[in-house]
A = this chain, B = another copy of it.
Amino acid sequence: MKIMVGGTFDPLHDGHKRLLSRSFQLAGPKGTVIIGLTSDRFASQKVHPVRPYEKRKEELTRFIEESGFQAAWSVEPLEDRFGSALKIDFDALIVSEETLPVAMEINTLRRKEGRRKVDIHQITCVLADDGRWISSTRIYRGEIDPHGRVIG
């Protein structure tokens, strides 16, 4: 299967790793995973600073290579919420609980433009040790580390 997944991935935390692992699992060894990585311009709308695109891509690439996934994959810059998800044919979109509404919006827009809808796989967020979601914002604030361990 041809899978699309997106994010800012800064820093790459256990929630992201779950999202990516599930994407590769679903794609299967002969499938493809397209990872939309927010561009620096798009990421600048975040409430916290984000490392440059190339740095984030490097960390993402290292994780994928070390994981030994078999599917083909590529990283492409995401300039808005949709990226190429409105324009190309693929099978399934993998999203977190936070981004499910974007996936629903993508299907509505695809249908309007005469494209077929895609499957939507919503992966539950990974919980930190304190029972709340692991998120980049919380890591940036210094509340938790990328594995969800509470700091301090």
Interface residues of A (CB under 8 A from B): 22, 25-26, 28, 97, 107, 116-124, 127
From B116, B117, B124, B127, give the contact of A119 (CB < 8 A): B124
B124 with A22: CB separation less than 8 A: no
Interface of A is mostly: mixed
CA A25 to CA B92, docked complex, whole Å: 14
A122:B124 contact, CB within 8 angstroms: no
B123–A122 touching, CB < 8 Å: no
B residues less than 8 Å from A107 (CB atoms):
124
| Partner among B26, B97, B118 whose Cβ is within 8 Å of the Cβ of A124 | B118
Query: Do the beta carbons of A117 and B124 come within 8 Å of each other?
Result: yes
Contact of A22 with B123 in the complex, beta carbons under 8 Å = no
Q: What residues of B have a CB within 8 angstroms of the CB of A26 in the complex?
A: 26
- Which single residue of chain B is at the shortest CB-CB distance from A121? B121
